[in-house]
């Protein structure tokens, strides 16, 4: 049986992965058990556990805060990724690592493919890109999964913020000119389980970088409208009228109307065809992903 070392188990993706990888021997570690800023600890723990696969969803993910903490963002997202890759290589193990749509600048008109030029516009994006490059340079069997707009039942995220605000307010203003695919941690974990079962680290043509999002596209405004619509439909179906969202109006605003410390790409759309072609794996549509999460979220 494959032995898996999983980092960041208290994160959205880490938590979902721990639940879904139940058929494997998984050593799932929190930040307290494996702090990725401590290179010596990474080496000691990986050598101790001797996994066949390392799955690394742990990351510095505070996109705005990273602008003022670049050293920490690079330590976790780039240096630690490199050390994990080196340690995996020492053991002839494989590495599954997560990256982001924020490696692109968002100026392309159509959806990005993996061979498109990267040009991150934030410290977070630059640190994640440096992590990708470090893993490739080590030259071990690896799968880098670029995902986007992650949310789920577990953890702090956009879905939970919108449900909370929709209960409190009559109206909301949400950015409507950034486009991408909201991707649920549950959809990610389901698809990673498929990858783990089919990935042959010896097959060199499987090593590489893959776009890895729920299918389809929307804006943050479109996502928030769908969240409220699915939420109210479910509350109605369950006959829980007191839980119905109070919100009456969600209006679309521009990125310029909502300034943030870190710049974000206007176009975050990722083409997932390579994942389907190489692994025959496809994540559900973002609306289906939301439905799956909503069922578990509300009950």
Where does this chain bind ligand NAP (CB under 6 A)?
A: 8, 10-14, 31, 34-37, 57-61, 76, 98, 100-101, 128, 147-150, 155
Concatenate the DSSP letters of all residues of 32-50 into one string: TTS-TT-HHHHHHHHHHH-
Residues 6+ apart with CB under 8 A from 244: 232, 235, 236
CB of 264 to ligand NAP, least distance (A): 11
Contact 238, 161 (CB under 8 A): no
Numbers of helices and strands, H then E, in the chain: 10, 12
CA torsion, points 44, 49, 52, 54, in degrees to nearest 10?
Answer: -60
Contact 184, 289 (CB under 8 A): yes
CB closer to ligand NAP, 179 vs 232: 179
Contact 80, 88 (CB under 8 A): no
Contact 60, 102 (CB under 8 A): no
Note the helical H segments in the chain: 12-20, 39-49, 70-74, 80-90, 123-138, 158-168, 185-198, 220-237, 273-279, 286-298
Contact 268, 148 (CB under 8 A): yes
CB closer to ligand NAP, 155 vs 265: 155
Q: Is 112 a catalytic residue?
A: no
Contact 189, 19 (CB under 8 A): yes
CB closer to ligand NAP, 138 vs 145: 145
CB of 212 to ligand NAP, least distance (A): 9
Q: How far is residue 188's CA from residue 227's CA, in Å, rounded to a whole number?
A: 19
CB closer to ligand NAP, 18 vs 140: 18
CB of 232 to ligand NAP, least distance (A): 25
Q: How many CA atoms lie within 13 A of 196 on its CB side?
A: 28
Exactly one of 60, 124, 151, 231 is catalytic; name it.
124
CB closer to ligand NAP, 37 vs 232: 37
Q: Which residue is nearest to ligand NAP (CB)?
A: 11
CB of 248 to ligand NAP, least distance (A): 28
CB closer to ligand NAP, 60 vs 231: 60
Token duo for residue 204: 């060199």
Contact 173, 257 (CB under 8 A): yes
CB of 236 to ligand NAP, least distance (A): 29
CB of 167 to ligand NAP, least distance (A): 23
Contact 253, 173 (CB under 8 A): yes
Active site residues: 124
């Amino acid at each position: 049986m494959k032995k898996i070392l999983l980092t960041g188990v208290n994160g959205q993706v880490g938590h979902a992965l721990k639940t879904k990888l139940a058929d494997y021997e998984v050593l799932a570690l929190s930040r307290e058990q494996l702090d990725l800023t401590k290179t010596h600890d990474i080496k000691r723990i990986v050598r101790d556990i001797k996994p066949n696969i390392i799955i690394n969803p742990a990351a510095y993910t505070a996109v705005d805060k990273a602008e003022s903490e670049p050293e920490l963002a690079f330590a976790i997202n780039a240096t630690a990724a490199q050390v994990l890759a080196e340690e995996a290589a020492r053991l002839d193990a494989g590495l599954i690592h997560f990256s982001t749509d924020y490696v692109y600048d968002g100026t392309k008109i159509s959806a990005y493919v993996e061979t498109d030029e990267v040009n991150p516009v934030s410290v977070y994006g630059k640190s994640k890109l440096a992590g990708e490059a470090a893993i490739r340079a080590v030259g071990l069997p690896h799968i880098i999964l670029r995902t986007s707009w992650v949310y789920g039942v577990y953890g702090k995220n956009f879905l939970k913020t919108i449900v909370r605000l929709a209960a409190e307010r009559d109206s909301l203003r949400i950015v409507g000119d950034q486009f991408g695919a909201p991707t649920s941690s549950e959809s990610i974990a389901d698809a990673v389980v498929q990858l783990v079962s089919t990935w042959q680290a010896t097959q060199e043509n499987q090593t590489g970088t893959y776009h890895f999002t729920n299918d389809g596209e929307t804006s943050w405004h479109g996502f928030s409208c769908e969240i409220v619509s699915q939420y109210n439909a479910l509350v109605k179906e369950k006959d829980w009228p007191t839980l119905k969202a109070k919100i009456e109006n969600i209006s679309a605003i521009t990125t310029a109307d909502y300034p943030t410390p870190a710049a974000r790409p206007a176009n975050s759309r990722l083409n997932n065809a390579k994942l389907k072609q190489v692994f025959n794996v496809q994540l559900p549509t973002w609306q289906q992903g939301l439905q799956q999460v909503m069922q578990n979220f509300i009950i």
